[in-house]
Amino acid sequence: MPNETPAKLECKFQGRYINPNLPVMCTCQMQKQCPEVNGRIKGTGGSGCIYLKFTISEAKTPHQLSALYLAEILKTRLENRQIVLKDESDQPLVLKHSPRVMIPTENPTDKPTIRLSRGHYRFTEGKVAILKCVVVATAETEYIKWVRVKDGKSHAICIDNEKYFGGLPKSPSLAIGDVVKSDGGTYFCRARNRAGEVESDVAFVEINSIGDLRTRNDDVSTVIKDIGAVIEDAGPMKEDVDVAKFTKAVQQGKFEDIGKLLQNRDFELEPFLVNPLLIVAVFGSPEVVEYIEKCSSIECDWNDNLEIRSGVCDSLLDEMKDRKATPLFVATFLENTATVKSLVKYSDKRNIAYCMKNLHLNKSMEKVYMTEFGERLKIKYSRLKPAVVPGHQKKTDGTWGRVFVIYSRDVLRPDDHVQEGIGLVMLRNPYEVNKEDLIVSNSQKPNRSISEQDNERAKQAIQLYSKKLWCNHINLNIIRVSSVRSCKGNIVEPEVCVVLCCITKGVVPLGEKEFPTRLAISEDDFIYTDVREGIFTYGGYDTRPSTFRHDYLKMGCDISSISEQNFGGTIGPFVNYEGNLSFLTCAHVLFDVGQQHDVDFTDDGIRKINVVQPGMSSSVPSGDPCGFVKRAIFDPSLDPSIDVAVVTISDPARIPKRGRFANDHSYKLARSGFMELPEYNTGSIDFDARISLSSPVFKFGSRTHLTRGVLVHFGIEVRPLSCTMQTSSKAGNVWIKNQYEVLGLEGQSFFEPGDSGAAVFSHSPFDRSLCCIGIAIGSLSNGSAIVTPIGAVLKALGEHHCEMASFP
């Protein structure tokens, strides 16, 4: 080989150099474990630690491997323990440092020294040709380029992953796919570092066909010799040829080729230079992973730690500290998100936990891992029929930790436990929240009302930001205004703020941001937010009602439909609908809005929904229907949102003569300022313009009967709590907006489940008679009630169809 000189390999092992025969012993071991160096290696020793220096003589013919290339092979195999040297007591020698390759003619200018692996390559048509070089440099190599000499000119080879593949800017290999005669010729390569560029010596590539070998006129010995030369050429690189084939098949997604190579006896997973699963992790796609997993003739374990030798897979893994790793770890290290999404499904918990603990995960990778583990938790706790919300929680040191919240009605008590390497798992009942919002709300003094100016500022902030907040935060349940602001849950400060109530305070669902600390109204004005735990639930219920059958229907009576659903609700204000005496209640009492999401029902005489009083779940027989649903609207998209049903009274014997109320607790009358049971006969209503904040209001519900409260906010927005816990992109479309909020007085709840549909009244400023302001639809976890304005209800039903009823 032209310009070939001997190369030296310097090795330092742990221990003391005592036996002078050790260099000879180790030289013999080298030749036995690496036959390519037979007759070309000589070892010497040194004092102190076990210091051995091996000299590899230069190649005598172009077909032999170059000395420098052999030195690199020995170095790599010593590092990867493919070659194990032993002392006189048969104990393996342990390297102190990585072996060092030296050549006598190093460039004094720090330019790299580059050698091809041999001067003459011989390949067979249709196969993959592998050309290799080795570079020695004191400064980092910037690139290695391969060049072909044709027609006396040098042509740089473009790596296109079709004909020429396997090469990156620093790859020491060139693979030529499906070689033909015309691929033969002269090749060399260039290498560059900061000191400059150098060229290697040239090599000649010979391409033979099977026919050429069969028709040669040489004698048998010559044929055998030629075939031996081909085998010799393929010997140290046979594995590389198979690796190149498999890599190309994986990159191009050629499943048939992948299957053939994997089923080939010579392509066993363990003894092969590069494990096929490692190649899949580096160059593969989800489709390749799925193909290998589902191929019944291929057995593989994605949780095996694969040995990773230096320089494999185009040196992409050389900077990875772990030299044994699973395919999942490798694909994650390389940030192959799509491949990881498939691999993680077939990886066990130990494998996943190790990757999550020891690798930095970017946002997309974090989502893949946490979503997968969340699905596994859902299966583990399937008896609870849970919703699992992956997210992050800020630690005391300011860093963010992973957390998985398992929500279920069947969680009896909160429980937290740590999954090592993965994160904190929290079991929560979504209908049980802390008392912070209740305590803070009750700290509002009755005489501390929100000024009209501040209420307008808060309402403006909600109008500006509510849609964005609902769409971006799946755990948001309530947006309302408060005259006090909590600080760290236990300090209450008098300050108008927008309250954002969520299920689990402090947990930010995966892919979301923290709640904003303030909402800008204009360039120089903003309003603070206050994040608390709180929920909104509809008033329907399936437990015992608190009222009995009334011969004449009264507002506040318990009702339900005749159905398996049996949600209970309340008779609201009486109305005349299309000339027939009817009453209002909530649509969600009579329809399963959790499944339908929106309701637009008009009775057509075919599908009749009958209503009974008392409801079906009452201990008192319900008897025949008292009415039927004539019209129902549940439409959160309206502004204000509407949740109303019109029940036309069909039993003439139960048509009311006066606008009276059912009430089981007479002591509540005096506490609410009534000397006797009131009547609502006028059909008077109050609109927003005539209602002021802090106005006292009243309600008659089938569950709580007569309760007293105060109107604290116009324009509150809520989202009903649901254990489906959809992603924010799906959940952001269903929320109830622009409602009234009524706070119960003296720490009492204004509303409880069963009160849905109840009429809410204020006092007329003229004669203290009752004026209807809306119908109650649900409650917050702090005891407040959500009320739909009566003006909006009548408008949605059509003012020419529906009007408030009056009695003589």
Residue type, 516: P
- Per-residue pLDDT of 700-722, as tens digits, reads 898 888 888 888 878 899 988 76
Residues 6+ apart with CB under 8 A from 199: 114, 188, 189, 190
Q: How far apart are CA 170 and CA 190, in angstroms?
A: 11
Please give the pLDDT value at position 276: 86
Residue 605 has pLDDT above 50, yes or no: yes
Q: If pLDDT is split at 50, 70 and 90, which confidence band does 225 have?
A: very low
pLDDT range class, residue 60, cuts 50, 70, 90: confident
Burial class (CB in 10 A: 0-12, 13-18, 19+), 533: buried
- Residues 725-750 have a mean pLDDT of 72
Average pLDDT over residues 670-683: 82
% the chain with pLDDT above 90: 40
Q: Hey, what amino acid is at 177?
A: G
Tell me what pLDDT residue 261 has: 78
At residue 347, the 3 state secondary structure works out as coil
Q: Which residue has the higher pLDDT, 94 or 542?
A: 94
For residue 747, is pLDDT > 90? no
At residue 448, what is the residue type?
Answer: R
Please give the Cα distance from 705 to 703 (Å, whole number): 6
pLDDT on residue 240: 56
More confident residue, 223 or 666: 666
User: How many angstroms separate the CA atoms of 434 and 205, rounded?
Assistant: 77
Is residue 111 helix, strand or coil?
coil
For 238-275, what is each residue's pLDDT tens digit? 445 567 788 888 988 888 888 887 765 444 444 456 78
Task: Tell me what the pLDDT averaged over the chain comes to.
Answer: 84
Q: How far is CA 602 from CA 261, 341, 368, 569, 707, in A?
A: 67, 48, 46, 20, 33
Beta bridge partners of 428: 407
pLDDT of residue 546: 54
By DSSP bridging, strand 173-176 and strand 164-165 are antiparallel
492-515: average pLDDT = 92
Determine the pLDDT at residue 406: 96
pLDDT digits (tens, 9 = 90+) for 398-441: 899 999 999 998 888 899 999 999 999 999 998 888 888 888 87
Q: Which pLDDT band holds residue 323 (cuts at 50, 70, 90)? A: confident
pLDDT given for residue 683 in this prediction: 93
Q: Is residue 558 within 8 Å of 618, Cβ to Cβ?
A: yes
CA distance 53 to 626: 104
What is the predicted pLDDT for the residue at 214? 43
The one-letter amino acid code at 759 reads: A
220, pLDDT greater than 70: no
Amino acid identity, position 131: L
Look at residue 274 in the predicted model and tell me its pLDDT: 75
Q: Which of 13-22, 153-162, 658-667, 725-734 has the lowest mean pLDDT?
A: 725-734
**Are 251 and 283 in contact, with CB atoms under 8 Å apart?**
yes
Which pLDDT score, from 0 to 100, does residue 188 have?
92
Report pLDDT digits (tens) over 104-113: 655 556 788 8
Sequence-separated (6 or more) residues with CB below 8 Å from residue 215 = none
Confidence (pLDDT) at 109: 66
Name, of 142-146, 150-154, 435-439, 513-517, the range with top average pLDDT.
513-517
Q: How confident is the model at residue 444 (pLDDT cuts 50, 70, 90)?
A: low
Average pLDDT over residues 619-628: 86
User: At CA 63, angle to CA 238 and CA 199, rounded to 5?
Assistant: 95
Residue 168: pLDDT band (50, 70, 90) is low
pLDDT of residue 348: 95
pLDDT at 81 over 90: no
The confidence score (pLDDT) of residue 116 equals 87
Inform me whether the pLDDT recorded for 724 exceeds 80.
Answer: no
Residue 378: per-residue pLDDT: 94
* 167 has a pLDDT exceeding 70: no
3-state secondary structure of 490: coil
Local confidence band at 789 (pLDDT 50, 70, 90 cut-offs): very high
Contact 701, 672 (CB under 8 A): no
Q: What's the rounded mean pLDDT across residues 351-371? A: 95
Asked whether the predicted pLDDT for residue 734 surpasses 90, the reply is no
Average pLDDT over residues 212-229: 38
Query: Which residue type does 731 have?
Result: A
What is the structure's pLDDT at 268?
A: 43
- Is the pLDDT score of 301 beyond 60? yes
Question: Has residue 629 got a pLDDT over 90?
Answer: yes
Given this model, what pLDDT does residue 271 score?
A: 45
785 — pLDDT class (breaks 50, 70, 90): very high
Q: What is the mean pLDDT of residues 769-773?
A: 90
- Mean pLDDT to the nearest integer, 185-199: 89
Q: Which residue has the higher pLDDT, 763 or 250?
A: 250
What are the φ/ψ torsions at residue 318 (nearest 5 degrees)? Answer: -65, -30
The pLDDT assigned to 571 comes to 96
How many angstroms separate the CA atoms of 113 and 256, rounded? 41
Q: Are strands 400-407 and 423-428 parallel, antiparallel or unpaired?
A: parallel
Q: What is the DSSP string of 374-437?
A: HHHHHHHTGGG--EEEEEEEE-TTS-EEEEEEEE-TT--S-EEEEETTTEEEEEE-TT---SHH
